[in-house]
Amino acid sequence: MTQIPASYDVCAVGNAIVDVLAPCDPSFLTAQNLTAGSMQLVDAQQSAALYAAMAAGVEASGGSAGNTVAGIGSFGGRAAYIGKVADDTLGGVFTHDIRAAGVAFETLPLKDGADSGLATGVCMINVTPDGQRTMCTFLGAANQLEAGDIDADLIGASAIVYLEGYLFDPAPARAAFEAAAAAAHTAGRKVAITLSDTFVVARWRAELLAFIETSADIVLANEGELAALFETDDFDAAAAQLASMVDVAAVTRGEAGSVVLSGDDRVAIAVVPVDKVVDTTGAGDQYAAGFLLGVARGLSLEDAGKLGSLAAAEVIAHWGPRPMTSLEALAKQNGLTLGADRV
């Protein structure tokens, strides 16, 4: 059967979140009993208390997979998004922002969110002077994403469906996750997953391994998440094990760049230097944007990885998790190919 050309490069399924970012000293994290560099889930009361204690900050639409598809839009790619917001002010902000990034977003909002106390999800992000971010997430309406929200036709029209590992936390969202993967494979499309956070891997290691073995074609992770997944600090052994389970894997290593693997092929990708690291929020998300766009358009592993590094460099040089400069223009300035738009 002839594969129908994809209308979208990537369709992402994730937690629709609005970020609140503020600077802090390491002592603030200690006082709040927070683990530097981590992401933890909090309830509405904890979120409100932390917000009251934080320094003045800025609000920006976020959510890991949402950031990724916004980056794909900045590259000039075609992206779609499935995620749940409430019918409230922040839900309107998220919807406006993601559509303004050129991303198709039609998931119906949670109509009774305000009445049930399930407002649009919020992530409190405290950033230390070295640019490291520590996140506390109140999922709210994002927690209510369910299998019925998965548009099988939209998934089938996308070269890659990209699943956010954070969705392994709430049960209804995990059902949506499984439904999206099934729809993608039924349509002959690729399934990508990001491991999202070492704490997610620790909570759901067995389930993630099972999902990767049975349903994932592409895996994105950072070095810490990879180590947690295989319970080893031997990077080479863990990378080889991951490569044996999927078609393609990309592992980011901070200042050491990233490694892209496919079968016996292993390609090291250097970082794109920046004058100053301001805020690492969204670095992995934007790496995923460039990398997945490259894979969707049939680029080499090296070229896809270079797009990922470029996008990560752009976002860590300023506050916020989404690009402030056209990634498409930056790619052209740096002589990087974006591949052919297959629409």
Q: Are 104 and 81 in contact (CB under 8 A)?
A: yes
Query: Do 80 and 11 touch, CB atoms closer than 8 A?
Result: yes
Closest CA to 208 of 243, 241, 166: 166
Q: Can you give the pLDDT at residue 89?
A: 87
Note the pLDDT of residue 3.
Answer: 62
Which parts of the chain sit beneath pLDDT 70? 1-3, 112-117, 341-343
Radius of gyration, CA atoms only, the chain: 18
pLDDT number for residue 112: 64
3-state secondary structure at position 36: coil
Q: Please give the order of strands across the beta sheet that includes 39-41.
A: 39-41, 133-138, 121-127, 17-23, 58-61
Q: In whole angstroms, what is the distance from residue 164 CA to residue 185 CA?
A: 17
The pLDDT score that the predictor gives to residue 1 is 42
**pLDDT recorded at residue 340:** 75
Among 180, 151, 160, which Cα is nearest to 7's? 160
d(CA 41, CA 62): 15
Question: In the chain, where are the structural domains located?
Answer: 8-16+63-109+142-333
Q: Name the burial class of residue 65, with classes exposed (0-12), middle (13-18) and buried (19+) by CB atoms within 10 angstroms of its CB.
A: buried
Q: Tell me: domain 8-16+63-109+142-333, CATH 3.40.1190.20, correct?
A: yes
Question: What is the distance between the alpha carbons of residues 259 and 327, in angstroms, rounded to a whole number?
Answer: 21
